[in-house]
Amino acid sequence: MLKVHAIGAEVFGTFMLMSSVLGAAFFSFPSAGVLGVAFSIGLTVMALAFALGPISGGHFNPAVTLGLVTARRFPTADALPYIIAQCVGAIIACALFYVIAHGKAGPVNLGNFASNGYGSQSAGGYGLLSVFLIETVLTMFFLVIITGVTSQAASPHLEPIASHVSVSFAPIAIGLALTAIHIMAIPVSNASVNPARSLATALFGGGEVLRQVWVFWVAPILGAVLGGLIARWFDEMPRESAK
């Protein structure tokens, strides 16, 4: 049975993940550059995976949840509550940073609220196909990393813990992978790989970015499902070799 603590951990974890995105984008960029934003996000997720992974598995991302369902690492029945919790956490963070950003003296221009987009809304003016491909491929990569480092094969001395992040070095690999993803994707799509993140910022960005948000649900979820299928195939390899 899904525990309320797991839902709370997903709300809080996604809230902090979204805070790392907005805090770096609003207050550190462009002085910190792409690397500063990417490390803000990656290090935050690394810390959250260590802190909250044993409670909820540390998904903080609807695409990750659905990818783990596909990989048979997470119960299908628990996916929807997780996704709702993640979206709620991301939206609360956006509301908080909207208030914080408007506490500055003088006019405040938040642009499209650090939203994701393509075409004229893309970070670098990239078209729909380019944005769709990078979001799909990098989310697939992310899921393969997550499933690989949290598998029992990666930590044979530990008991299987389904989708939960093991008490090992897994959060480090996950955090660094997400950092690399953002370094690659920020110049193209402003880096989503997370539908909850895209939905929340689009709600506050409005206009064209809100009309484009479907891409940042479809592409990451497609990539996550592909990553989950790859993970299932990799999981079968030790059993086949043992026969």
Tens of pLDDT, residue by residue, the chain (243 residues): 568 999 999 999 999 999 999 999 998 877 788 999 999 999 999 999 999 999 999 999 999 999 999 999 999 999 999 999 999 999 999 999 999 999 987 777 788 999 999 999 999 999 999 999 999 999 999 999 999 999 865 444 344 444 444 447 899 999 999 999 999 999 999 999 999 999 999 999 999 999 999 999 999 999 999 999 999 999 887 554 444
Residues 6 or more apart in contact with residue 118 via CB below 8 angstroms:
126, 127, 128, 130, 131, 132, 189, 212, 215
Is the Cβ–Cβ distance between 186 and 103 less than 8 Å? no
- Give CA–CA dist 54/221, Å, rounded: 24
The alpha carbon of 214 is separated from its chain's Cα centroid by a whole number of angstroms, namely 16
**Cβ density class 32-64: b for 16+ within 10 Å, e for less:** eebeebbbbbbebbbebbbbbbebbbbbbbbbb
| pTM greater than the 0.85 cutoff | yes
Residues 6 or more apart in contact with residue 241 via CB below 8 angstroms:
none
Residue of 115, 114, 147, 119 lying closest to 132 (CA atoms): 119
- Give CA–CA dist 234/143, Å, rounded: 12
- Give CA–CA dist 95/49, Å, rounded: 24
- Give CA–CA dist 216/121, Å, rounded: 13
Question: What is the reported pLDDT for 155?
Answer: 47
Instruction: State whether CATH 1.20.1080.10 applies to domain 4-104+113-242.
Output: yes
Q: What is the pLDDT of residues 187-197, one digit of tens each?
A: 999 999 999 99
Question: What is the reported pLDDT for 30?
Answer: 77
**CA separation, residue 71 to residues 28, 166, 213 (Å):** 37, 17, 25
Question: What is the reported pLDDT for 163?
Answer: 43
Which region holds residue 33: left if phi is over 0, alpha if psi is between -120 and 50, else beta? left
- Give CA–CA dist 202/142, Å, rounded: 23
All structural domains of the chain with their residue ranges: 4-104+113-242
Question: What is the reported pLDDT for 156?
Answer: 44
